[in-house]
Structure 1
Amino acid sequence: MSTILRFWGYRESSMSSHSEDLYSVLGIGPDADAQAVRAAYRKQARRAHPDAGGTAEEFHEVQSAWEVLGDEAARAAYDRKLRQPQGAGAEEDSENDGPTYGRPGFGGFGGSGAAFRTTASGSTSARSGSADSARTPSGTAHLAPIYIPDLSRPEPLSLPLTSQRTHGRFASKGLFGGGRTRRAERMAALLEKHVLAELPTARLFNAVALEPAGKDRRGASRPPRGPAVDHVLVCGDTLVVVSSLEVPAAAASWDGHRLHAAGRSLTLPDLTGDSRLLRATLEAAMRDAGRETSLNLGQQLVLHSPDGGMQSPVVESRGAGIARAPLAPARAFRSIREQLAASAQANVIDRHLLAALRRQLQHPFE
């Protein structure tokens, strides 16, 4: 599972040597093989865990180092950055070759120039608008993460789950059966590569129920049922609901309400309605937890073509509707990043919100 290079805040001077890099966090060298990395992570995680005398910040640093070094693709990108001369640019084309590091507003190794830190804050923000209107990235997405509540508290979400970038899986049968399951799993992998790898505080939730979980006869919570959305990305106080659709053509047109392709007129999922219902569910859950929170909404339908290209199908817009226009993957991922990064709280990780979203997962995994 692809993960982000989490230590965005390390100074560039640290990146040019091995004295303060992620390898040092695990107590190994850059030439360590995958087995040695895993063994070192387990050793350091036991040492740094608050229950064993460590601190929350130490444990989170170890967890963050493992997220990078334990993933083959993320480690390779990190190693390239280590080898890069100090001050050299590191920008890449995220739609073609993978994540871009150092792009203003979307995170980078030298983002804020400040060391990685944990900050306590209890603030919440009022709703500043929806994805129906154009929004400009605030520039805060690349700043050091702010945790609410801070990492000294194990609740409302454990430290490993707070660090986890992707939550939830897809069932092989039922709601996401057959080809839809494969498409949703592929979409999740692409979101990890092209969205999570750009935004250090973003989290991805898969197979998210829209309505609150019920209770069994004994009063215990049971997994939520009913309607669900494929993917929900959260960054700060912004939610973006994402779904995907395969279009059997290299070109399509969008009239603001329906998609026309290959001589057919397609009715698209109501992501606007789904996102509003999910927001109501989550805000109610937050109120029950004693937190009044207003969430911004975004939506994006991603279109796949038979050739699997990132730039197709080409969508011609012929009208303006309420819903955001469906787009080919490359443009869709750019739109999703912009929606998530638009909030002034894009660098905030609200652990109460993450916990509420996890309760909506139809198929959670640890």
Structure 2
Amino acid sequence: MAQRQTPYDILGISHTASATEVKSAYRKAARLTHPDHGGNAEDFARATLAYETLIDSEARTRYDRSYGTKSSHLRGGAPAPETHDPAYSGAPGNGSMRFGTGGSSPSATSATSYLPPLDQLGAADRATSLRKVHGTPRKRGIFGAQARLARENRTVALLEKQLLSVLPSARLVNGLHAPAGGYIDHALLGGYRLALVHSMMLPKGVYRWDGAHLLRDGKHIAPPQLSPVVHQMQRLFPELNVTGWTVILSPDGNLHEPVIDYARGGEPGPMNVLNVVNAVKLVRELKMFLGTGPAPHVVDRTILARLLGGMH
């Protein structure tokens, strides 16, 4: 698969590079690409555009928070977008995840493959690519909401223990800026699928989800408004299949509580923009969703780098 090139890729620097490092990298790139020195004019123009994007702090922030889709994002091709097709299913033989059970195609638990290969990366980028968890829940202002931070940290711990431990190529990014404002609590990338996860803490009991409304005893409870963010991220990452998940946590830590009853059409699945689940259902569904996508064993470093830009 041909790779997109970000300004960071073009200059060969990391997302945390200082202004001094940007200047130094550009001087090196300019010497190599300038037509007067035998270089290619197009490559020189790309290096110059990358430099202009990253040396200006405001332009760099806008680029990072756009997830690398502004005009300064120089495309070198991209994998074909994955259609939201119902290959995902718990039914055996219909897209069910293979945990190393044979077959010629790599499975979700195959050895991780990095694009580009790790030996082509510098030490900093290699360490970033190998790291499974990036960022932490944000305080979002001077005074952090302790209950929210505790809830988000519980979600991080759940995803680390139950998903990252069995999906070696999955990467968890916390505290992203949403494209149109606000935040994305957690983004879980597996191959070419992306799950956006928010959470709620609700008392034990039985709740009903019909695909649009969460109810208990006839009373409406508003889940996080994830649908607009899912649509925005899908537009920014057309090569990915993006879905939204709201996990409802129980105060006592019981993964099976609260119980969620689904109306017809409200059952969790990759065709839904927003899914509402308890903790045990989240783990089960995300294992299937992330593990049955195209190339589930791949860490596409360019996509990961674009996601990490959203933390800045």
TM-score, normalising length: structure 1: 0.54
Partner of residue 302, structure 1: 247
Q: Taking structure 1 as reference, are residues 318 and 269 closer, same or farther at Cα in structure 2, changes over 3 Å only?
A: same
2:278 aligned to which of 303, 316, 328: 328
SS in 1 for 2:175: strand
Take 2:87 and 2:197, find their aligned partners in 1: how far apart are those partners? 14
1:141 maps to which of 98, 108, 113: 108
Count of matched residue pairs = 218
Does residue 1:169 correspond to 2:136, yes or no?
yes
Amino acid at match of 2:191: G
| Conserved? CA contact 2:233–2:242, under 8 Å | no
The structure 2 residue matched to 1:198, chosen from 166, 177, 181, is 166
Partner of 1:315: 260
Long gaps (5+) in structure 2:
1-76, 99-106, 267-271
Which residue identity is paired with 1:315? I
Secondary structure of 1:200's aligned partner: coil
**Alpha-carbon deviation of 1:275?**
1.8
> Residues 256, 196 of structure 1: CA spacing in aligned structure 2 closer, same or farther, 3 A cutoff?
same
Whole-Å separation in 1 of the counterparts to 2:300 and 2:116: 7
CA contact (8 A) 2:226 2:274 kept: no
Shift of 1:323: 4.5
Q: Which residue of structure 2 aligns with residue 152 of structure 1?
A: 119
Question: Pairwise mapping of residues 16-35 of structure 1 onto structure 2 (< 5 A)?
Answer: none
Give the match for residue 343 of structure 1.
293
What is the CA–CA distance in structure 2 between the aligned matches of 1:134 and 1:271, rounded to whole Å? 23
Q: Is the 8 A contact 1:259 1:267 kept in 2?
A: yes
RMSD (CA atoms): 2.7
How many angstroms does 1:155 deviate by?
5.8
Shift of 1:185: 1.1
Question: Is the CA contact 2:97–2:288 (under 8 Å) kept in the aligned structure 1?
Answer: no
Question: What's the counterpart of residue 189 of structure 1?
Answer: 157
Within-5 A mapping of 1:200-239? 200-211=168-179, 226-239=181-194
Which secondary structure does the structure 2 equivalent of 1:343 belong to?
A: coil
Distance 2:86 2:144 in 1: 26
Letter in 1 for 2:289: Q
Post-superposition CA distance 1:3-30 (Å, at most 9, x none): xxxxxxxxxxxxxxxxxxxxxxxxxxxx
Shift in Å, 1:247? 1.4
TM-score using structure 2 length: 0.63
**Aligned equivalents of 1:341 and 1:128: distance in 2?**
16
Q: 1:232 aligns to what SS in structure 2? A: strand
Supply the AA of the counterpart residue of 1:333: V
Task: Answer yes or no: is the 8 Å Cα contact 1:131–1:297 preserved in 2.
Answer: no
What is the Cα deviation at residue 210 of structure 1?
2.2
